[in-house]
C-alpha cells in the first residue's frame, strides 16, 4: 500500500494491502493453458512429494504462533461488534487514487479503484501483525510444501462460501490466481512471474506451482491474493473497470457509495470466518467508511465537524497549529503519537532517467545539492522530520559505515562497474546551514553542472546541445506547493528553470503509469523481509513496464544482481547484507532527491473507540483491531448538545 504523499508523511507500515513487486520471466500460462499443461498427481504422489501439513508459512519457516493458537496477541478477542469507523483516504493500492475513485475493481490497471475492496475478499492465508512475514490459515486450514519449495498444496476449510451463499472452492482459488497472473494490475502480474500456475485437485485442494529459483516471497504473495468467484466472472469480463459490486467472501461487502465521494463496507453478520484464529478480535465495526477529499485543508475541516471519526495526520502545519478546535479542547477528540517500528522507506522527488537531461549522474546530484532540507523542515514542517537517506530507512537493512566482509563479497564482482564510493561510506545528502540558500552547496551544484558540460548562457543552464534545462514537477494535489517553491528558487540560482504542474488524479495516474513526467514525488516502503517487491521498484525489467513502480527508470546490472541476492537469501543475515549493498548502489546512482520521514504515526479520533492494550508491531492495526464503545459515543453526543 502506498501512503499519502504529503508534507508530513510518516513511515508506511507493513501491510497486507502493500504494493506488490515485479518478477523475472518464467513460463506464462493462461488460465486455460495452465489447466491443460498440468497433470494432477495422485494423492499418494502428493504424499511422497509434499511435507506434512502446516498451519502457517513464512519466508524462513519461523512461526511465533502454534497450530492451536486461539487468536493474535495484539487483539481483544472479546471486542464487541457494532458501530461505525470512518476516515479520510490516506492510502491506495494498485490502481487506486488518494483523491477519487470510479471503479470497484481495484486489481487491474484500468480505472481508479476504491480503497478497501480487499475487505470484501478472503485469501488463503492472513498475515500476522507482530511477525515480519508470517501467515496463518484463513480460507485454507493448512498448507503442504514440497521439499524443493516449488509446489504448495493448500487445503481449504469446510464451510467457506461467498456472500450469496455459494461454496468457495479450490476451483475459485485456482481461477483467481491464474486470472490475476494473466489480467491483473502490472504490479500483481510482475509479482506472479515466478508463479507458474494453479489447479484444483478437488473441491477442497488447490495446488500452486512455482518456477525454479523463484523468489522467496512469491508463495507468500500468492497465499494473500484475493479469491474471486469463478461463476460470477463467467458472466462478465474480469479486466473491466466497473461500479458493479463484485461477489466476495470476506468479512465485509460493499455498501453505499458515491463515486469520488465516499464508500462504505458493511460487516457480514453471518460470516463463515468470524471465529477463526486469524479473525477473532478483528473486523469489529458494522460499517467501515472512507471519505475522499481533494484538498487536505477541507479534509481537516470535515474531521473537526465530525464528517468522519478517525484521522491520521500527514501535514505538520495542521498537526502543530490547528488541533485547538472546540471538540479537541473539551476532550471529545483525542490525539496520540504511536510508534512505527517498520522500515520508514523512501520518500523523495524521483527523476525520470528515461529523459535525456537526467541521464547524467552529475546533474542528478546537483539537483540534490540544491534542496535545503534543513530550511524546509524548520520553516515549513515545524522541525518534525528527519532527513531520509535510504530506501530502507529506520531498519537494519539501511547501509551504514563502510561495507563489512559479507557486503564486500557481494560488491567485489562490480568493482570498476559501479562508482568507487560504493566501497566506502554510503552517500549522504548535504546538511545545509538552514538559510534556504546555502552557498557552499549551490557552488558545488554549479561545479558539477559545469563538469558535466551544462554551461550557463544568459543566466540559463543549457545542455551540451545548447538546449535550456526546463524541468516540470508533476503533482496531483496543491498541498505540497510550499515545499516546492523554495526549492525552485535554488534551482533558478544554478540556472535551472523549474515549474510545477498540478493535474487531476486521473491524469496524474495516467502520466505516471506512462512515465510521462520529468520529476514526481513517490513514497514507498518495504516490509521487514523484502523480496520480489524490489523488482518493480528497481529492476531493469520493470523500468520498461508501464504501470510499474520503477518511475525513475533505474536500469543497473549491479542493482539487478543485488535484487537476485535478496530474493534468494537463505537466511535473514544474507538478506540484510544484500539489502545494504543494494542500498549503497542505489544511493550512489543519485536517482532521487531524498526528502523526509519519521518513525511514528500522528493520529486523532473522536473519543468513541476502544482499542487493545498493545499495537501490532508491523501494522498500524486501525481499524482492524479497534472497536466502537456506545457509552463513549453517548457521552460525546451529550457534550455536543
pLDDT at 171: 98
The CATH number of whichever domain residue 468 belongs to comes to: 3.10.105.10
- CA-CA-CA-CA dihedral for 174, 179, 185, 187, to nearest 10: 50
pLDDT at 21: 29
Boundary (domain end) residue, out of 181, 211, 231: 231
Please report whether residue 395 resides in a domain.
yes
Q: Is there a single domain that holds both residue 63 and residue 189?
A: yes
H and E: helices and strands count for the chain = 20, 27
pLDDT at 635: 87
**Beta strands of 405-563 (E only): which ranges?**
456-457, 460-461, 470-475, 497-502, 519-524
Residues pairing with 605 in the sheet: 310, 334
Element (H, E) at 155: strand 151-156
Q: Counting beta carbons within 10 angstroms of the beta carbon of residue 266, is it exposed (0 to 12), middle (13 to 18) or buried (19 or more)?
A: middle
In 3D space, the residue among 404, 436, 437, 448 whose CA is nearest the CA of residue 423 turns out to be 404
In 3D space, the residue among 302, 438, 269 whose CA is nearest the CA of residue 369 turns out to be 438
Boundary (domain end) residue, out of 203, 231, 259: 231
* Cα 630 to Cα 641: distance, rounded to the nearest angstrom: 17
Phi and psi of 254, rounded to 5°? -60, 130
∠ Cα 83 88 93 (to 5°):
105
Residue 380: domain span: 346-597
* Cα 56 to Cα 75: distance, rounded to the nearest angstrom: 19
Whether the predicted pLDDT of 133 surpasses 60: yes
Q: Is there a single domain that holds both residue 366 and residue 223?
A: no
- Write out the three cell numbers for 6: 504529503
Whether the predicted pLDDT of 15 surpasses 70: no
Whether the predicted pLDDT of 246 surpasses 60: yes
pLDDT at 309: 98
End-to-end CA distance of the chain: 39
Give 270's pLDDT tier (boundaries 50, 70, 90): very high
pLDDT tens readout for residues 277-299 = 999 999 999 999 999 999 989 99
User: Residue 84 in 3-state DSSP?
Assistant: strand
> Which of 293-297, 344-348, 394-398, 516-520 has the lowest average pLDDT?
344-348
Which of the 8 DSSP states describes residue 427? P
pLDDT tens readout for residues 104-117 = 999 999 999 999 99
- Asked if the peptide bond before residue 623 counts as cis, ω within 30 degrees of 0, the response is yes
Of 525 and 41, which is predicted with more confidence?
525
Which of the 8 DSSP states describes residue 486? H
Please report whether residue 376 resides in a domain.
yes
pLDDT tens readout for residues 300-338 = 999 999 999 999 999 999 999 999 999 999 999 999 999
* Cα 69 to Cα 391: distance, rounded to the nearest angstrom: 35
pLDDT at 30: 30
∠ Cα 145 397 401 (to 5°):
150
> Which of 276-285, 336-345, 499-508 has the lowest average pLDDT?
336-345
pLDDT at 93: 87
Burial 179-197 (b: 16+ CB within 10 A, else e): bbbbbbbbbbbbbbbbbbb
Which of the 8 DSSP states describes residue 24? -
Please report whether residue 441 resides in a domain.
yes
* Cα 427 to Cα 401: distance, rounded to the nearest angstrom: 10
Contacts of 148 (CB under 8 A, 6+ apart): none
- Write out the three cell numbers for 393: 530507512
Q: Is there a single domain that holds both residue 227 and residue 353?
A: no
Give 92's pLDDT tier (boundaries 50, 70, 90): confident
Phi and psi of 275, rounded to 5°? -105, 15
Of 428 and 49, which is predicted with more confidence?
428
**Spacing of C-alpha 471 from chain mean position:** 27
Please report whether residue 328 resides in a domain.
no
Average pLDDT of the chain?
90
Q: Is there a single domain that holds both residue 211 and residue 356?
A: no
Q: Counting beta carbons within 10 angstroms of the beta carbon of residue 108, is it exposed (0 to 12), middle (13 to 18) or buried (19 or more)?
A: buried
- Domain count within the chain: 2
Please report whether residue 257 resides in a domain.
no
**Beta strands of 449-566 (E only): which ranges?**
456-457, 460-461, 470-475, 497-502, 519-524
Q: Is there a single domain that holds both residue 429 and residue 552?
A: yes
- C-alpha torsion sign, points 413, 414, 420, 426: negative
Please report whether residue 136 resides in a domain.
yes
Whether the predicted pLDDT of 43 surpasses 90: no
Please report whether residue 1 resides in a domain.
no
Please report whether residue 176 resides in a domain.
yes
Q: Is there a single domain that holds both residue 356 and residue 210?
A: no
pLDDT at 618: 87
Q: Is the pTM of this model over 0.75?
A: yes
Mean pLDDT in residue range 458-478: 93
pLDDT at 84: 98
* Cα 132 to Cα 518: distance, rounded to the nearest angstrom: 35
Give pairs for 627-635: CB < 8 Å, separation 24+: 627/76, 627/79, 627/80, 627/81, 627/82, 627/83, 627/284, 627/285, 628/80, 628/82, 628/83, 628/84, 628/85, 628/284, 628/285, 629/80, 629/83, 630/82, 630/83, 632/607, 632/608, 633/83, 633/608
The CATH number of whichever domain residue 62 belongs to comes to: 3.40.190.10
Boundary (domain end) residue, out of 231, 250, 273: 231
**Spacing of C-alpha 121 from chain mean position:** 19
Amino acid at each position: 500500500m502506498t501512503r499519502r504523499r504529503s508534507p508530513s508523511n510518516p513511515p508506511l507500515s507493513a501491510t497486507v494491502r502493500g504494493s506488490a513487486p515485479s518478477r523475472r520471466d518464467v513460463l506464462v500460462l493462461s488460465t486455460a493453458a495452465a489447466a491443460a499443461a498440468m497433470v494432477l498427481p495422485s494423492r499418494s504422489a502428493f504424499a511422497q512429494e509434499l511435507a506434512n501439513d502446516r498451519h502457517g508459512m513464512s519466508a524462513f519457516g519461523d512461526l511465533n504462533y502454534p497450530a492451536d493458537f486461539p487468536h493474535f496477541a495484539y487483539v481483544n478477542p472479546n471486542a464487541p461488534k457494532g458501530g461505525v469507523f470512518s476516515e479520510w483516504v490516506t492510502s491506495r493500492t494498485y490502481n487506486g487514487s488518494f483523491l477519487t475513485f470510479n471503479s470497484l475493481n481495484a486489481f487491474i490497471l484500468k480505472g481508479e479503484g476504491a480503497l478497501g475492496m480487499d475487505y470484501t475478499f478472503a485469501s488463503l492465508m492472513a498475515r500476522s501483525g507482530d511477525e515480519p512475514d508470517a501467515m496463518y490459515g484463513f480460507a485454507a486450514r493448512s498448507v503442504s510444501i514440497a521439499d524443493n519449495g516449488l509446489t504448495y498444496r493448500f487445503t481449504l476449510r469446510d464451510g467457506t462460501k461467498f456472500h450469496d451463499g455459494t461454496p468457495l472452492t479450490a476451483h475459485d482459488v485456482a481461477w483467481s490466481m491464474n486470472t490475476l497472473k494473466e489480467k491483473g494490475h502490472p504490479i500483481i502480474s510482475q509479482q506472479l512471474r515466478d508463479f507458474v500456475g494453479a489447479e484444483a485437485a478437488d473441491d477442497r485442494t488447490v495446488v500452486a506451482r512455482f518456477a525454479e529459483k523463484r523468489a522467496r516471497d512469491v508463495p507468500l504473495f500468492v497465499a494473500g491474493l484475493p479469491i474471486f468467484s469463478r461463476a460470477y466472472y463467467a458472466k462478465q469480463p474480469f479486466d473491466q473497470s466497473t461500479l458493479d459490486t463484485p461477489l466476495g467472501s470476506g468479512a465485509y461487502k460493499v455498501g453505499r457509495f458515491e463515486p469520488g465521494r465516499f464508500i462504505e463496507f458493511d460487516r457480514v453478520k453471518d460470516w463463515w470466518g468470524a471465529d477463526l484464529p486469524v479473525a477473532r478480535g478483528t473486523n469489529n465495526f458494522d460499517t467501515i467508511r472512507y471519505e475522499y477529499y481533494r484538498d487536505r485543508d477541507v479534509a481537516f475541516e470535515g474531521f473537526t465537524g465530525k464528517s468522519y471519526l478517525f484521522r491520521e495526520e500527514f501535514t505538520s502545519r495542521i498537526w502543530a497549529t490547528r488541533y485547538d478546535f472546540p471538540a479537541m479542547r473539551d476532550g471529545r477528540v483525542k490525539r496520540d503519537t504511536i510508534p512505527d517500528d517498520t522500515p520508514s522507506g523512501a520518500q523523495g522527488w524521483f527523476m525520470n532517467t528515461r529523459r535525456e537531461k537526467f541521464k547524467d549522474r552529475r546533474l542528478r546530484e546537483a539537483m540534490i545539492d540544491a534542496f535545503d532540507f534543513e530550511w524546509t523542515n524548520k520553516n515549513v514542517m515545524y522541525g518534525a522530520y528527519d532527513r531520509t537517506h535510504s530506501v530502507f530507512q529506520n531498519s537494519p537493512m539501511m547501509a551504514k559505515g563502510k561495507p563489512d566482509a559479507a557486503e564486500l563479497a557481494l560488491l567485489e564482482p562490480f568493482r570498476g562497474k559501479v562508482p568507487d564510493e560504493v566501497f566506502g561510506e554510503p552517500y549522504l545528502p548535504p546538511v545545509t546551514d538552514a538559510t534556504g540558500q546555502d552557498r557552499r552547496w549551490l557552488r558545488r551544484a554549479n561545479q558539477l553542472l559545469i563538469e558535466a558540460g551544462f554551461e550557463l548562457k544568459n543566466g540559463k543552464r543549457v545542455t551540451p546541445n545548447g538546449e535550456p534545462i526546463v524541468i516540470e514537477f508533476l503533482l496531483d494535489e496543491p498541498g505540497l506547493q510550499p515545499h516546492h517553491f523554495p526549492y525552485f528558487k535554488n534551482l533558478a540560482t544554478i540556472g535551472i528553470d523549474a515549474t510545477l504542474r498540478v493535474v487531476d488524479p486521473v491524469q496524474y495516474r495516467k502520466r505516471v503509469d506512462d512515465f510521462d513526467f520529468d520529476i514526481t514525488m513517490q513514497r514507498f516502503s518495504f516490509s521487514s523481509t523484502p523480496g520480489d517487491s524490489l523488482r518493480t521498484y528497481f529492476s531493469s525489467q520493470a523500468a520498461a513496464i508501464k504501470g510499474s513502480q520503477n518511475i525513475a527508470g533505474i536500469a543497473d546490472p549491479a542493482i539487478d544482481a543485488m535484487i537476485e541476492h535478496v530474493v534468494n537469501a537463505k537466511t535473514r543475515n544474507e538478506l540484510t547484507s544484500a539489502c545494504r549493498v543494494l542500498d549503497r548502489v542505489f544511493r550512489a546512482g543519485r536517482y532521487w532527491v531524498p526528502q523526509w520521514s519519521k518513525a511514528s504515526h500522528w493520529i486523532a479520533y473522536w473519543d468513541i473507540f476502544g482499542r487493545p492494550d498493545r499495537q501490532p508491531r508491523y501494522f498500524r492495526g486501525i481499524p482492524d483491531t479497534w472497536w466502537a464503545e456506545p457509552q463513549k459515543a453517548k457521552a460525546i453526543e451529550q457534550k455536543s448538545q
